[in-house]
Amino acid sequence: MSARRRHVLTLRGAGALLIGLLLVIAANIVSAPILLYVAVLLFALTALAVLVVHVPRRSGTVSRQISTDLLTVGEESRVTVRFALRSLRIPHGLWRDVLPDAVTGHAAGEYPPETGVLRYPITGVRRGVWPVGPLVLRTTDPFGLAQREQEFGSTRTVTVVPEVIPLAPLAAHWGAAGGTAHTASSRLGQGSDNLSPRHYVSGDSMRRIHWRATAHRGELMVRQEEEESSPDAIVVIDRAAARWARADRGIDPAFETAVSACASIALHLAGEGYSVDVVDSAGTLIGALRGHEDDRDELLVALAILTPRGDARDLAAVVGGTPPGPLVVLTGRLSVEERDLLHHGGAAVPILLATHPAEGALVAASSMGWTGAVLTDDVSASWELALPERMLTGGGRVPR
């Protein structure tokens, strides 16, 4: 978002010019030279104010530091701006940092600040990768007649990731690994801290994409050495455009809820000990949770930029195989006739969450072995309703 341009004159300056013009007219009408002298004085003061504000040359450097690498929707963070201004004299005025609509914060104050450093809080409002900046300095002359706005420095991106909501724990684990074994990996060095990304080359598996490094560097990066294996659980988020509101109608709250639910469920299953793959409705891998320290951030960064696209596909073709553990599908509009697309292939625990299922759609899915519920803003409650009763621990539904 670009800074709003201001006029050269303030309201006071424009008023001074207007009064000067009126005095010139009045001086000619009533033949009063004193009025003409006053008008000339106002014109001269206004011209001098413009020169004082706009003639001095200024340049400066700006660096920003955000206290959190990834900002969660609803989370507050702090931005520290170090601004070094080079000028003949230190001007007094107001500063502001240009913020996108996706974050809120009071990014303004008096210049120069007492501490020499500019600080302000921001709160994530909408997921995505957004620019913060440039820094804008507004100064006026001592009489307040003229003003000047200058932009300094470039922008810095802030990544706002979907909110992760705590979910009800599972009473039982399903699958060959029993929800306790993670994929083994062989990497250079010991421990996940030594995992260093490298540039993507043709032929690298999409499973190796290092999403966090990709977001920071602006080009595809992959993990060094990693063994791949089949996941114990799969989470599918249906991105088919027909499931969601049209893009030209703005933000779709239902899709935002689905993305937040996708992140919450995937991380919840990983916390329960499952190895988890998150894929979209085209079968593209969005993220894999295998116990690495960066897995969580990489998944959240990938989900931060997710948008609806493409057409609906048969679920069996998307999943490719049957996970030994939970198979969770998140979708939007769902009709009864579309149940033929929901062949889960014999998954042990198929769970379906839809934001706008047609009447009877969940019942039709239930006849195919799915347990499901309407996905509402209360993601935790929707998840609990969708779970098979035998998988709930204390605090859930009473088993029949």
Looking at the whole model, is its pTM more than 0.75? yes
- E strand or H helix at 217, and its extent? helix 211-217
**Residue 369 is encoded by which pair of tokens?**
């072995």
Point out the domain boundary residue: 228, 251, 279.
228
Q: Is the pLDDT of residue 290 over 60?
A: yes
pLDDT tens digits for range 258-285: 999 999 999 999 998 899 999 998 889 9
Q: Are residues 297 and 193 in the same domain?
A: no
Better-scored residue on pLDDT, 30 or 398: 30
Q: Is the pLDDT of residue 3 over 60?
A: no
Tell me whether residue 170 is in a domain.
Answer: no
- Mean pLDDT (the chain, rounded): 84
**pLDDT > 90 in the chain, percent:** 58
| Cα→Cα distances 143→20, 23, 49, 223, Å | 16, 20, 7, 60
**Residue 346 — pLDDT band, cuts 50, 70, 90?**
confident
Lowest-pLDDT choice from 31-40, 44-53, 175-184: 175-184
Q: Are residues 378 and 244 in the same domain?
A: yes
Q: Are residues 385 and 307 in the same domain?
A: yes
Cα–Cα distance measured from residue 353 to residue 327, given in angstroms and rounded to the nearest whole number: 11
Cα–Cα distance measured from residue 235 to residue 125, given in angstroms and rounded to the nearest whole number: 25
Tell me whether residue 171 is in a domain.
Answer: no
Q: Are residues 203 and 121 in the same domain?
A: no
Q: Are residues 220 and 131 in the same domain?
A: no
Q: Are residues 215 and 100 in the same domain?
A: no
What pLDDT shows up at residue 388?
80
CATH number of residue 90's parent domain: 2.60.40.10
Q: Are residues 237 and 356 in the same domain?
A: yes
Cα–Cα distance measured from residue 301 to residue 297, given in angstroms and rounded to the nearest whole number: 6
Q: Are residues 359 and 371 in the same domain?
A: yes
Better-scored residue on pLDDT, 236 or 395: 236
Cα–Cα distance measured from residue 77 to residue 50, given in angstroms and rounded to the nearest whole number: 39
Tell me whether residue 3 is in a domain.
Answer: no
Q: Which amino acid is at 349?
A: V
Contact 186, 227 (CB under 8 A): yes
Q: Are residues 288 and 332 in the same domain?
A: yes
Q: Are residues 196 and 119 in the same domain?
A: no
pLDDT tens digits for range 77-136: 999 999 999 887 888 899 999 999 999 999 999 998 888 899 999 999 999 999 999 999
**Residue 148 — pLDDT band, cuts 50, 70, 90?**
very high
Contact 58, 86 (CB under 8 A): yes
Tell me whether residue 286 is in a domain.
Answer: yes
DSSP 57-97: --EEEEEEEES-SEEEBT-EEEEEEEEEEE-SS---EEEEE
Q: Domains in the chain: how many in total?
A: 4
Q: Are residues 237 and 385 in the same domain?
A: yes
Q: Are residues 36 and 115 in the same domain?
A: no
Tell me whether residue 174 is in a domain.
Answer: no
Q: Give the domain range for residue 326.
A: 231-391
Cα–Cα distance measured from residue 233 to residue 323, given in angstroms and rounded to the nearest whole number: 6
